[in-house]
Amino acid sequence: MSRIYIFDTTLRDGEQSPGCTMTQSEKLAMAEKLVDLGVDVLEAGFPIASEGDFQAVDAVSRHFPWVEVAALARASTGDVQYAARALEHAKRPRIHTFIATSDIHLKYKLRKSRAQVFDDAVSAVSLARSYTDDVEFSAEDATRTDPDYLEQICWAVVEAGARTVNLPDTVGFSVPEEYKQLISRMVNCLGDRATVSVHCHDDLGLAVANSLAALEAGARQIECTINGIGERAGNAALEEVVMALKVRNDRLPFETKIHSEKLYATSQLLSSFITFGPQPNKAIVGENAFAHEAGIHQDGYLKEPTTYEIMTPASVGVPETRLVLGKHSGRHALKKRAEDLGFSLSPQLLDELYARFTHAADKKKGLRNEEIIALVHDVLDSAPAAEPVSVDSL
C-alpha cells in the first residue's frame, strides 16, 4: 500500500488566519500533540513574517529534534537565510520556499515577468540546498498557472535540488478531476526525482476531495491542518483526509502514520487555544459527528451501530456516541436513556414517560439528563401504587 506523508501546517497556514493566533507556549503544546498524533512534517512557522514565528520554529526544532520541522520562506535570499537560521537547531530541517507562478499573481502582486519568477525560484532552491538537503518548493496559485510554464519551473527547481514539489490550489478554485489531471502531468514530468505534494484550500468546500483526487494521480504528500483551519475558508482538514483513507481504504489504498484515535483530543486542544472550535456538524470532530436525534436513526443505531455509523467514535477518540433526546427521538432511545440513568420502567410507564417527553421536547431543542430524571419522577409519582418499577441505581 502506498504511504502518504502528512505535512501539517496548523502552526503556519492555520495560525496565520483570523482568530487563530497562538502564544509560544500554546504552539509548543500544539506541536507536541501533533508529533504524538504522528504527522510526518511539522511546518512550525514563516520566520521572516514575525519574531513570534521565528521563535516558534526555533523552539519546535529544539524540543522535537527527531521531527522533520519545516519553515516557510518566500523565494528570496533574505527569507531563505532567515528560515535557515530559525532551523539552526533542527536535526531534520526542511526549508519550504515558494513563489506565485500564475499570470494574475505575476502581473498584479509580484510585478515580475515569468523569466524573473523562474530565476527567483531556482535561486531560492539552490540557496536553500546550501543549508539542507530537504528543500520543498511551492508554486503558489499552481492551479491558475499555465501548465507548460508550471512544468518548466517544476523541472528546474528539481534540477536545482528540491526534493518535494508542492502544487497548491491556493484559492480553492480547482475541482477534483481537473486537479487530478494537473497533478498527473507533474508526476509524469518529475517521475521519482521528487515527491509531488498537494496543498488545497477550501473556498468551494473541495479541499479534501481535491487532495484525495491528487493521490490517485500520484501525489504522495498532503498538506493539511487540524479542524481545517487556514487562510479564508481554510485548508484540507487533516482528520477528514486521514479518516477517508482509513474508512474507504477499499477505494483509496493509501496509508498514513497518523494515530487516528488521537484526532479528537488534538482537535479539542487546538479549539482551546484559538477563538473558535469546529462547527457542530463538522466531519469527524464536530460535536454532532457521532450524535443521533431522529427516532429512526436512534432505533437503528441501538439495534446495530453500523446502521448509521461508518466508523466508531473510539476510532477517532470521541468518548462515545451521543443519543440526543429531542423532539425527533423515539421510544427506543428514551427507554435506553432511562435505563442508563438507572430506571427500568414497565411498558405502561414507558408509554406515559414517552407522552410527557414528546410534549416537553416539542418546546425545547433537547432534554438534559436532569430533565429526563424529573419526568421519570413525575411519571412514578402519578403511577398507581401497584405499577411495577425497579430502580437499579440512583
> What's the residue count for the chain?
394
* C-alpha grid cell, residue 335: 427507554
Beta carbons of 97 and 123 less than 8 angstroms apart = no
Q: With binding defined as CB under 5 A, does residue 169 bind Zn ion?
A: no
Instruction: Give residues 191-250 in contact with ligand KIV (rule: CB under 6 A).
Output: 199, 201
Strand ranges inside the chain, DSSP E: 2-3, 5-8, 41-45, 68-74, 92-100, 135-140, 164-169, 195-200, 221-224, 254-255, 291-292, 322-323, 343-345, 389-391
CB 322 within 8 A of CB 291: yes
27 binding partner (options Zn ion, ligand KIV, none; Cβ < 5 to 8 Å by kind):
none
Place of cell 431543542: 365
The C-alpha atoms of residue 204 and residue 237 are separated, in whole angstroms, by 14
- Does 13 sit near ligand KIV (CB under 6 A)? yes
Residue closer to ligand KIV, measured from CB, 166 or 227 = 166
Q: How many helices (H) and strands (E) does the chain have?
A: 14, 14
CB of 315 to ligand KIV, least distance (A): 30
The yes or no reply on residue 321 touching ligand KIV (CB under 6 A) is: no
Nearer to ligand KIV, 99 or 242 (CB): 99
Q: Which is nearer to Zn ion, 223 or 299 (CB)?
A: 223
Check binding of 145 to ligand KIV (CB under 6 A): no
**Judged by CB, which is closer to ligand KIV: 222, or 333?**
222
Copy the grid coordinates of residue 229.
Answer: 483551519
d(CA 225, CA 36): 15
Q: Which stretch binds Zn ion (CB under 5 A): 11-19, 55-63, 105-113, 126-134?
A: 11-19
The residue range among 164-172, 247-255, 258-266, 354-362 that interacts with ligand KIV, by the rule CB under 6 A, is: 164-172
Q: What phi and psi values does residue 168 have, to the nearest 5 degrees?
A: -70, 145
Q: Give me the least distance between CB of 75 and ligand KIV, in Å please.
A: 11
Q: Which residues pair with 291 in a beta bridge?
A: 322
Please tell me whether residue 98 binds ligand KIV under the rule CB under 6 A: yes
Choose one: 5-13, 16-24, 116-124, 266-274; the region binding Zn ion (CB under 5 A): 5-13
Q: Which does 140 bind (CB under 5 to 8 A by kind): Zn ion, ligand KIV, none?
A: ligand KIV
Number of residues located near ligand KIV, criterion CB under 6 A: 9
- Please tell me the number of Cα atoms within 13 Å of 124 on its side-chain side: 28
β-strand pairing of 343-345 with 389-391? antiparallel
Question: Which alpha helices (H) appear in the chain, and where do they start and end?
Answer: 24-37, 51-63, 77-86, 103-105, 114-129, 147-159, 176-190, 207-216, 238-247, 263-273, 295-303, 331-340, 347-363, 369-382
225 binds, among ligand KIV, Zn ion, none (CB under 5 to 8 A by kind): none
Contact segment (CB under 6 A) with ligand KIV among 53-61, 106-114, 162-170, 318-326 equals 162-170
Determine if 141 is a binding residue for Zn ion (CB under 5 A): no
Q: Binding of ligand KIV at residue 170 (CB under 6 A)?
A: yes
Chain residues in the site for ligand KIV (CB under 6 A): 13, 98, 138, 140, 166, 168, 170, 199, 201
